[in-house]
Amino acid sequence: MTDAPLITTQDVIQYTTAIPTQTDSTVIGVVIALVLLTMAGLAFLLYRYLCHNRGAYRTTGEPAPGQDYDPVDPSDKKEYFI
């Protein structure tokens, strides 16, 4: 016979089922951090988009009571008939 060490099935199961706990928690932490950073970046971009596209909406209706309106210069409204 040979002088090789005797390996039992229990030894093989014990070596192959070792679960690294530190690596899993590190990967989970990195994934959570990336998801949160992505969400924060998207929220920032959405905020910038909404603030940038906020326009001044002007209507041509009548002014509110008590509000002064700019008088129209009659020289601008002249029409010349030939």
SS3 content of the chain, % helix, strand, coil (to 5): 55, 0, 45
76 or 45, higher pLDDT: 45
**Per-residue model confidence (pLDDT) at position 51:** 84
Task: Flag whether the pTM goes above 0.75.
Answer: no
Q: What is the number of alpha carbons within 13 Å of residue 60 lying toward its C-beta? A: 0
Mean per-residue pLDDT, 4-27: 65
Q: What letter does residue 61 receive in the DSSP assignment?
A: S
Q: Which residue has the tokens 């192959």?
A: 16
Q: Do the Cβ atoms of 27 and 21 come closer than 8 Å? A: no
User: CA 50 to CA 45: how far, in whole Å?
Assistant: 9
pLDDT in tens, 17-72: 556 656 778 889 999 999 999 999 999 999 998 887 676 666 666 666 766 666 66
**Per-residue model confidence (pLDDT) at position 39:** 98
Mean per-residue pLDDT, 6-27: 65
